[in-house]
Chains A and B, each alone.
Chain A
Amino acid sequence: MTVIVAKELATALAALREHEDARVIQGGTDLMVEINFNHVKPTTIISLRDIASLRTIRQEVRGLLSIGSGVPYSIIEGEPVLSAIPALAQAARTVGSPQIRAAGSLGGNLGTCSPAGDTLPVMFALDAMIHLSTVDSTRVVSIHDFMTGVKRSIRQHDEIITSVDFPIVKGWQGYSKVGVRNAMVISVASACLVADHEHADVRIALGSVGPTIIRCRESEAWLKANQDLSAGAFISPQLAEEFGKRAAAESSPIDDHRSTAQYRRHAISVLASRLLRKAYP
């Protein structure tokens, strides 16, 4: 096995094109587990750890925050993300433990593309855009097109995820997850809700309850048709409960070692209605 520690993105991209069997590693929180347990035996590893350009947070365009794929969650938890995209900072803070958050990154969440990836519902609720590069090209893809199934994405072998663009939205937003305890837990069900006061609408995306993250477009449309969603609007408990039920109906959970489909559906209805009431206190 060969380990290539790249200091420049171009070096990593060239190495990735050259080695068809290479695996890229950023924080290592997913890949090292597979290696430690002999589940994979890569022949070439390309480390992105030392590429400074992947570890920047930039606001070049007004209303858009661009977060490098290698920025660890421990940084995403705080400013400037906390004020600009609070749901993302919340989601980042629910990942694993401080040790995991010092290593894990958005690039890793996207690269692994598990439906339980904590930051993915935030990307789905905010229509985030994913930047990918190869040695001779770049492309920008909507998160809705990026994730195609359980641990499946449209990322090609020779592509590296470089950054994620998040729109800065005016209004309340939050992320909630259900698990067996507070720390070190993979979500049983999760939800991100974004209230967009400017467009008077609400967006909600669900994690761990389907093969991909699920954006509840029907529930969103129903809510917009039946409720004023501008700043300061009043949401009745009955309406919030109905919204929760509708969001749960759009989920498609399964029974597995972490929970049951029935419980996950119930958890989504509670999370969705609670988030909606928090958005309009």
Chain B
Amino acid sequence: MSANEFYSLQVNGKNMPVQDSWIGESLLYVLRERLGLPGTKGACEQGECGSCTVLMDGDAVCACLVMAATAVNSEITTVEGITSESALTDVQQSFVEEGAVQCGFCTPGLIVAVHHLLEKNPSPSELEVKEAISGNICRCTGYGRVFAAVEATIRSRNEVK
């Protein structure tokens, strides 16, 4: 298949046509600038910071390292697809309550990474949490508040059970 000026992506369960774009644009750029999904943040554009973390066919990846036009056969889930506009998810609620949000720029990427971790592994060890978010750089919190938020989410999910 040859994708030229027009192609479609499957984002958050919807078929989204991408129009009037340069074909070499990253998925990060396409999500933000072409598809009106600004939740995914752009910072380093070289895969180092994790602020653009999205799920691609169930794997957490950096959207800046995916050429959007090569993702035509993949299911993409952004932070908008994991969360809702009407209420916070338990992970988001824990981030707020534990003070894991300071400047907030890394938060969407961390929310995606933490949801992804807890879906695969509902009771991760401290080391597993550290490894799972090792690709998400936060320059404000020093990570202590983020680990506390992950622990709080796990605790609240266990209580519900």
Interface residues of A (CB under 8 A from B): 1-7, 25, 27-29, 32-33, 35-37, 42, 45, 47, 49-50, 72, 74, 96-100, 102-103, 182-184
Contact = CB atoms under 8 A, between A and B. Distances in A.
10 contacts: A3-B67, A4-B1, A5-B3, A25-B67, A72-B59, A97-B135, A99-B53, A99-B61, A102-B56, A184-B134
Interface in B131-145: 131-132, 134-137
Contacts of A37: 45-46
B interface residue count range (under 10 / 10 to 19 / 20 to 34 / 35 or more) = 35 or more
Contacts of A74: 59
B24 A42 contact: yes
A25 B113 CA distance: 25
B47 A96 contact: yes
B48 A32 contact: no
Interface of B: 1-4, 22-24, 26, 45-48, 50, 53, 56, 59-62, 64-67, 69-74, 113, 131-132, 134-137
Contacts of B62: 99-100, 103
Contacts of A35: 24, 26, 67
A102 B3 CA distance: 24
Contacts of B65: 27-29, 32-33, 100, 103
Nearest to A93: B131
Given A97-B136, A98-B131, 19 more contacts: A3-B23, A5-B70, A7-B1, A25-B67, A29-B47, A32-B65, A32-B66, A45-B67, A47-B69, A47-B70, A98-B135, A99-B50, A99-B62, A99-B113, A99-B135, A103-B47, A103-B61, A103-B65, A184-B137
Contacts of B2: 2-5
Interface centre among B1, B59, B61 (most CB of A within 10 A): B61
Nearest to B54: A99
Contacts of A5: 1-3, 69-70, 72-73
